[in-house]
Amino acid sequence: MRAKVAASRLGLAAVLLIGWEAGARAGVIDPFFFSRPALIAARLTEWFSTAQIWRHVGLTLLEALLAFVIGSAAGIVLGFWLGRWPLGAAVAEPFLQTANALPRVVLAPLFIFWFGLGIWSKVAFGMTLVFFLVFFNTYRGVRSVDRVLIDNARLLGASESQLLRHVLMPSALGWIFSGLEASIGLAMVGAVVGEYLGATGGLGYVIAQAEGLLDTTGMLAGMTLLAAVVLAIAAVVGRVERHLLRWQQPR
C-alpha cells in the first residue's frame, strides 16, 4: 500500500514535469511566460553554487520561525486562558472576531511603515496570521474537552494546573496541532509577502527582483525553494505530532 502510493506519487510528478518540459520544447507552452523545469533546476544549481542564496533562505526562515513561535505561543496561551474563563471569552469574542475579519494583507504595508524594512515588520505580519488560527483552534480544543474527564480528574484531586497538564493539554493537542500545521505555511506567507513589499533580503525579495526583470525562471526557482522549505518544516512538525498523539489508535 505505502509503496504503491509512493510509486504513484513519483509517477505523477514525473508526468507533470516531463509534460511541462516537453510542452515547452515543442513550443506548446511559451517558456518566456512559464519557463521549464530544466531551466529552473539549472537556476537553483547556480544559486546554490554561491553562498548568497543561503542568506536569503536563512533570513526568510528566521522571520517565519519567529512569527510562528511567538504567534502560536500567544495563541495557545490565550486559547487556554479564555477556554477556561467563559466570562473573559464572552467579553473578548467580538474584538477577536473583528480583528480576525480584517484582511490581514492590507496590514503588511502598515507594519513596514511602523517597524521598518528589517525583519520585525515581517515577523509582526506573520504573527497576525499565525496567532488567530492557533488561538481559535486551541480555544475550540479546550472547550471541547470531555466534561467527564475534567470532573473525574477534579474529583481525584487535580488542581487547575494539574488539570491543564494531564487533561486539557493532551486533549486539546490534536486541535492545536491542526492549527500549527496550517500556520507553518502562513508564517512563510507572512515573511515572503512582507519581503515582497519591501525588504533588503529573503526569498520574497529574490522573487520580487526576478519579477521586476520579467524573469519567470527566477520567480519559479524562488517559489520551488520556498515550497521545499515549508515541506521540510511541516515534516518535522508532523513527526512531533505523531509522537505526542501516539495514544490515538490508527484505524
Partner 1 sequence: MYRSQKGRYNKMLTPAALQFRQTGRAFGPRLAVDALNLTVAAGEFVALVGPSGCGKTTILNLAAGLIEPTKGEVESFGAPLKGLNPKVSYLFQQDALLPWKTLEENIALSATLSGRDGRDEAREWLERLGLEGFGDYFPAAASGGMKKRVALAQQWIPRRPLLLMDEPFSALDIHTRQRMETELLQLWDEDRRTVLFVTHDLEEAIALAGVVCVLSAGPASTIINSYRIDLPRPRAIADLRLDPRFQDLYRNIWNDLRPEVLRSHAG
Q: CB under 8 Å to 82, separation ≥6 — which residues?
A: 88, 89, 92, 139
Q: CB under 8 Å to 35, separation ≥6 — which residues?
A: 24, 216, 217, 220
155 lines the binding site for partner 1 (CB under 8 A): yes
Binding-site member from 46, 93, 151, 160 for partner 1 (CB under 8 A): 151
167 lines the binding site for partner 1 (CB under 8 A): yes
Window of 23-31, 145-153, 192-200, 212-220 that interacts with partner 1 by CB under 8 A? 145-153
Binding-site member from 107, 143, 166, 193 for partner 1 (CB under 8 A): 166
- The footprint of partner 1 on this chain (CB under 8 A) covers a number of residues equal to 19
DSSP helix/strand/coil, 251? coil
Which residues between 232 and 251 bind partner 1 (CB under 8 A)? 245, 247-249
HSE-up of 246 (CA within 13 Å, CB side)? 4
Pick between residue 158 and residue 193 the one whose CB is nearest to partner 1.
158
SS3 helix, strand, coil % of the chain, rounded to 5?
85, 0, 15
Q: In angstroms, what is the minimal distance from the CB of 239 to partner 1?
A: 18
Q: In angstroms, what is the minimal distance from the CB of 240 to partner 1?
A: 15
Binding-site member from 29, 65, 96, 149 for partner 1 (CB under 8 A): 149
84 lines the binding site for partner 1 (CB under 8 A): no
DSSP conformation letters of 190-211 = HHHHHHHHS-SSSHHHHHHHHH
Window of 12-20, 134-142, 143-151, 189-197 that interacts with partner 1 by CB under 8 A? 143-151
Pick between residue 39 and residue 244 the one whose CB is nearest to partner 1.
244
Query: What sign does the CA torsion over 16, 17, 21, 22 have?
Result: negative
Binding-site member from 26, 51, 156, 235 for partner 1 (CB under 8 A): 156
In the structure grid, which three cell numbers stand for residue 53, read together? Answer: 542564496
For 149: left if phi > 0, alpha if psi spans -120 to 50, otherwise beta; the answer is alpha
Instruction: Report DSSP state, residue 35.
Output: -
Q: In angstroms, what is the minimal distance from the CB of 84 to partner 1?
A: 16
d(CA 206, CA 166): 46
In the structure grid, which three cell numbers stand for residue 29, read together? Answer: 507552452
Pick between residue 106 and residue 155 the one whose CB is nearest to partner 1.
155
162 lines the binding site for partner 1 (CB under 8 A): yes
144 lines the binding site for partner 1 (CB under 8 A): no
Cβ–Cβ under 8 Å, residues 125 and 110: no
- Contacts with partner 1 by CB under 8 A lie at 148-149, 151-158, 162, 166-167, 170-171, 245, 247-249
